[in-house]
Structures are given as C-alpha cells and as structure tokens.
Structure 1
Amino acid sequence: MGHIFNELYQFSYNLAHAKIKAFAPPFLDYLNGDKDIIQYLNDLFNRYYSELSKLKRIDWVNDGLHEIIKHYSNKEIDFNLSRDAKILGDAILASLEAYYEGLPSKAFQILQNVFLQNDRHFINMLPQIEATAMKGFRVREGSHYNKITDLFHIPFELRQKCSSYRFSILGFPSLYLAESLPTALNEVRAKSDNDFCITQYEYNGEIALIDLALIPRQMQLWEIYSQLMFYPLIAACGLKVKNENSPFKPEYVIPQLFFQIVKMDMPEFAGVSYISTRSANPDFTDMRQRNYVLFVPETYLTKGYSSQLAKKLTACDPICIKYNDDIKTLIQYEVECAMRPKKSITINSK
C-alpha cells in the first residue's frame, strides 16, 4: 500500500525537512515583512491549503485511515485532511480576531471548541511524544545557586515575577526545559562572560507531551496525517517575535490559549514540546533545539513549590559556568552536567 501514498509521504518529508521554504518555520518573511500576524497567517494558510489540494490521492488517505481505525477499534471516524486543516486554521484566525477585539475569553472558546467537537477528534489526532524518560536542561544567570530548587519553577510566593512567555501567561509558573544546553542558554539570551548555573532534569517514568515540532523521520500514515493536519497550529505557535521589547507579543496569543486548553481538557499530557525560536538559525528539524514546557500542579498554593511535580523529576546539583558561545565548550559543559548523578528534589514543607 505504501506506494499509493508516495505523493503524501514526499510532501510530508519535504515539509518536515524544511525543503518547502514558503512553509519552513520560523517564517523570516513574517519577521522582516510589514504584515500583521492575522494577515500573514491568513496568506500562509491559504497557500498551504492550495498545496494540500494538489495531492491527488488525498481521498485515499482519508479512506485508508477510516478503514484502519474501523478495523482495529470498530469506530467510524470521518477523516478529511484538507477539511480538518482548514477548520483549525480558520479557528486560529477567528481566535486572533476575537483577542484583538479585547475578548480573550471568546478567543479561548473559539479555539477550545475545535478540539472538543466531534468526540474530541482533534485531541485524539494531536501529534505527540510518548517516552519512558525525558531529560532537559535549565539555566539561571548568576553564580550563587547551589540547590536544585534554585533552578526549579518560580516559587508561588514570587508569582508576580512570572512574565508572559510563549506558552504561559502572566503570573502562572511553568517549568521550561531545553533538550540541549546551547538551546537553554539561547532562551535566556545569554551574554558572553556572564555566569550561569545549570542543571539537567530527568522525568521519572512515562511522559506524554504534545509535539509542535516538525519531525524529520520516517512516520506512520496517521502520524503524517496528524502533522499535516496540525501544520496551521505548528506555524501559529512557531513565529519569531517581531518586537521583543514590546509588552504585548501577538505571536504568544495562540500558544498561550492552546496551552490553557491542554491544561483544562487534556490531563493525559504533561505539557508541550516545541522548537526554540531564540537561536541565531532556528531549525524546526533540529531536535537539539527542542524545548519542553511542563505544567506545574498545585499553583493554587500561596507559597513554596509543587511537590507533585518534584516527585516526578530528579536533577543534578547545579554547576556554575562562564558563558561563551564556543560550541565545543558548551558541549563539554553539557556533558559534564549530564554525567552528574541525579537526585530527588527536596521540597521544604514549611
């Protein structure tokens, strides 16, 4: 059956390997152009739908997945790749428009409805990572951090210091980790000769994360469908910020709304994985540029840290480094940190 879907495989391969420049994150034409985010995404989505419509056997893909699911689970699911991608793209644009009207709750509802409709079809098709272990680096500027909790999430009594980040809103602590040390340092805009403390976290046991990267590997048919279906979301969450020093970043609207939907409606996921846009040359096919943002439970507490999250993680004691952008030096630091023994995270209950 594989040769029947060659055209789909090739399109997915080219998309995942950034070979179609018009659809390759981080979309520098947006960064350097004069279109606002709604105009840009509308144009991008329309070009994408046009390319999907050129896939001659896309109906065979829809029918093939329908029969596979029916055979193994006895469920009748109406697969339609072009329709699903457009439903999602239209909802993203409508959500942004509502947000621009000063109606963030309406923006949330528009996007949420897409994921809950049709017996949670969109949730069931989300691209995801399921792993028995996950590791990630975290850094803080300074040389005085010596406890693991110094590099844990912001304590609840200091939530006023929680800025607006790509996937988390003001005042809400999340735990951001990076696949590699260079990516973690890029995320904090590290400057040469400054001191940083670093640690590596390891998630204990199985973890499920929504995956908003483009995966450059051989995929099963349903994974290809999922990636192509959710390309509008991957694109909307992967735009580089145009105005870094401005208080409002429209590029954060959709990822923040989506993260809230995941937190509310998808308890099976521990968070979201995505590709950093902070590097000099962001590459959505480079898994070393991957970030993880984990939900922090118990944020209703007024003081301290999440003991629930601490129980799911181990980490090494922080080490202090002097930052420079020599990649060989950074890799040496990364290896040294990764080789350190991991220990449980001790939360002071007082």
Structure 2
Amino acid sequence: MRIENFLSDSIFDLPIKQPPKQDFKQFLFRQLDIFIQKLEETQISESSFDTLEHYPIARILQRQLHFIGKIKETVNAYYNGKPSEAYAHLSEGLVNPNKDFNEVLHFKTYLPKENFYRIRIHKENYPIPVNSFFHIPFEKRGLVKTQRFSIPGFPSLYIGSSLYVCWEEMNRPNINDFQAVRLSLTSSLKVLDLSPPPNVNTISSERRYHYLMIWPLVMACSVQIRNHKDTFKPEYIVPQLLLQWVREKEDIDGIAYQTTHIDFRNNISKGDFFNLVLPVKDNRARGLCSHLKSKFVMTNATSIQLSQCSNSGRHYTLLQSELESLNARAHKIEVIPGKSSFYGLSVLGELERTLNYSEEQPIGIEQDELAD
C-alpha cells in the first residue's frame, strides 16, 4: 500500500467531530485506538509502505504505541487534577532518548513580507488603535479567556492566513460588526506545523511519513468543541500543554494549525486555511511582548463599511489573474452551502485587498513599557 492511500482514509479528515453524548476522553482514546488498529491491519499484508521501505510498519507501530500511550497518560493525569504531571507525560512523548519525536515534527518557517490577518468585533466606525489589535496587554491579562492553545491569564497572539479564516474563527459575525488589520512579518517566524498537507499526492514521501507520525498529536489538537458555554473544555487539554512545550523552546515562535470551524469533509472551499498562535515571550507588568512586536508591522484598522465609504462603494473590474493572486492561501470559499466563489470577489476578499494596499507601521512602544 502506498502511504498516500493510507492517509486518504476518513480517519484523517479534519476537524474531528465528537458524537453528541460520548465522553471526550472515551471518544479521543477510541479514535487513537482505531488509528493503531488500521496500522496493525496494514502490517498483516505488508511490512512497509511503498516508497517508505526504510520505515517498517512494525517500527512505526512501536513508536506510535509509545506516543499514543503518553497522550492517554496526559489526558488521564489532567482529569485527575494533575496538570504538571500531564505536561510531563506529553513532554516524554515528544522527547524520549529512545523514541524522540522531535525528528518527525514538521517545522515551518515563514519569511519576511508574508501577510497574516486579525479581526476584532467593533460596531463603531472609528478605527480601533493599532496597539489594541495585538495580543491583550499584560496589565489586562485578567481578560484572557481559555482558548484552544492558551490558558486563562496568558496572552497569546492569534492570527489567520486570510480574513476568511478569521471570520470563520469568530463564528461568522455580521460583516458590519468588525474591523480588521493586516500584519506583515519583518523577520522569519518558525512554528510547529500541525496543519495537514494541502494534497498528500503532491508532497514528498518523507513529508507524508512525518504527517503520519504526528497524526495522534494533530488529532488530539483538532477536536471540535461540543459545549461552547462550558468553562472547562477538555478539547483544549492537549493543545494548551503543547503550547507550553513550544514556549520553552527558544527557537520556536508558535504553532500553525488548521481551523476547526470549517468542516472540510463537506466543504468545497479551496485553499490553505490555517491559524498561527504565538505565545508571548516576555513576562512584564504592562504593555505588549517586545519579541512579538519586533516580528511584525501592522496596517491601520479598517472595516467593510469604512472601506465602502472611502470609495463610494465602487467595485472595480479585476482580471482573472488578480482574483486568483489575491491570497494564494484562499482560492475559493464556500459561504453558501454547495456554492463556491473566488475569494477575490467576496466582500472579505475586497477588504483584504484594501488592507494589502494599506501602509504598514511599527507596533508602537508605550511609555509604560519604557518604565519597566
């Protein structure tokens, strides 16, 4: 069997959806067991995947049994009220003298000038100050709620690969109720990449192997929330501990992950729809993280209404190449079920085009930070 055929199995579909009443831990453990079962079934007829003869399935199984065992121990320890023990189990799964997963983790480097986006709910037509669009400042850390990869009280910067992704992440707010900015990198950014390859048939066998090996981690970080109103969300256990592990690595800036707000099994959007989460590197009383600020410049905030007011709502005829080149990560989007359209023709695409032509500026230094 070719590994790309194995990776095309429905168990690799994202995001992971839970049954309405099954306990999260039972569901996750069952999904991990199914993954092992499929590897064992493949091993019965084949000793290795085609083009991966140097990675016997028996060896893959051995490493996966160890890794999955550590993920299960992580969740069990957290459920038992022992978060530090849970972190230790996850760390042992990732870094072990005999089975070091560091060698199969996929790291991606984004280069200067690459663009990312952020939106904030704001119903007024006065632009939000630039600094208010970054992570929640340290003096307001009490406002930081639990998020998929970050714990309450710990600021992190979440940015999207397109405005469309940001809009989906915010549960599709009214298009007149938010403002947006573009962030452009000023230096390289290295992240742990949990996002799936856009097409397993077009990547190298080595990359396919790496994705296969980290799949249990991707799965554990990609389960959709079942109860949004709950204070404790078990779906966040592994991703939050993983971000803690990443933060302790000086050379890693954050994590890239595919949005869980788009069901790609039933969606005909075409693109690479992912988010980055970048934890703060400083621990200060006030202001913003100096490390993260040094990585970006940012445009002023604007909105769909402000953009339309500035150009009288005029629409311009665009070439096909202009539509397709707006954002290489978002080619077509499905807003209405069953109907996809060029992202460049959407109101979100128009707003993104406005931001792409907007001037950038450094994220300001505040006087309170100078006094620290």
Shared fold per TM-score greater than 0.5: yes
TM-score tier (shorter)? 0.7 to 0.9
Greater CA deviation, 95-104 or 337-346?
Answer: 337-346
1:8 aligns with 3
SS of 2:96's partner is helix
Change (3 A) 1:65 1:156: same
- Which of 225, 235, 257 in structure 1 is aligned with 2:219? 235
Q: TM-score, normalised by structure 1?
A: 0.84
The 1-side partners of 2:228 and 2:135 are apart by 23
C-alpha RMSD of matched pairs (Å): 2.7
- Which of 37, 49, 57 in structure 2 is aligned with 1:50? 37
2:303 aligns with 320
Contact kept? 2:127, 2:300, Cα under 8 Å: no
Q: What does the per-residue CA deviation read over 1:49-77, in whole Å, with 9 as the maximum and x for residues that have no partner?
A: 122230524288776269xxxxxxxxxxx
- The alpha-carbon deviation at position 284 of structure 1 amounts to 12
Q: What does the per-residue CA deviation read over 1:150-181, in whole Å, with 9 as the maximum and x for residues that have no partner?
A: 20111110000000000000100000000111
1:141 and 2:121 aligned: yes
2:235 aligns with 251
- Relative contact order (alpha carbons < 8 A, sep ≥ 6): 1 or 2 greater? 1
The 2-side partners of 1:33 and 1:82 are apart by 31
Unaligned runs of 5+ in 1: 1-5, 15-19, 67-78
1:332 and 2:315 aligned: no
Q: Give the share of equivalent positions with the same residue, in percent.
A: 25
Contact kept? 2:243, 2:279, Cα under 8 Å: no
Contact kept? 1:180, 1:288, Cα under 8 Å: no
SS of 2:158's partner is strand
The 2-side partners of 1:65 and 1:290 are apart by 29
- The alpha-carbon deviation at position 194 of structure 1 amounts to 4.1
The 2-side partners of 1:57 and 1:228 are apart by 16
1:114 and 2:93 aligned: yes
- The alpha-carbon deviation at position 190 of structure 1 amounts to 4.0
- Which of 12, 27, 46 in structure 1 is aligned with 2:16? 27
1:343 aligns with 361
- Which of 195, 199, 215 in structure 2 is aligned with 1:213? 195
Q: What does the per-residue CA deviation read over 1:286-337, in whole Å, with 9 as the maximum and x for residues that have no partner?
A: 6542001112121x211111222111111111112359x7861111111111
Change (3 A) 1:193 1:146: closer
1:170 aligns with 152
Unaligned runs of 5+ in 2: 307-334, 337-342
Letter in 2 for 1:338: N
Change (3 A) 1:51 1:119: closer
Q: What does the per-residue CA deviation read over 1:188-231, in whole Å, with 9 as the maximum and x for residues that have no partner?
A: 23432542110011122322111111112322232212100111
Q: How many residues align?
A: 323
Contact kept? 2:163, 2:352, Cα under 8 Å: yes
The 1-side partners of 2:203 and 2:263 are apart by 29
Query: Residues 82-101 of structure 1: matches in 2 within 5 Å?
Result: 82-101=61-80
Q: TM-score, normalised by structure 2?
A: 0.79
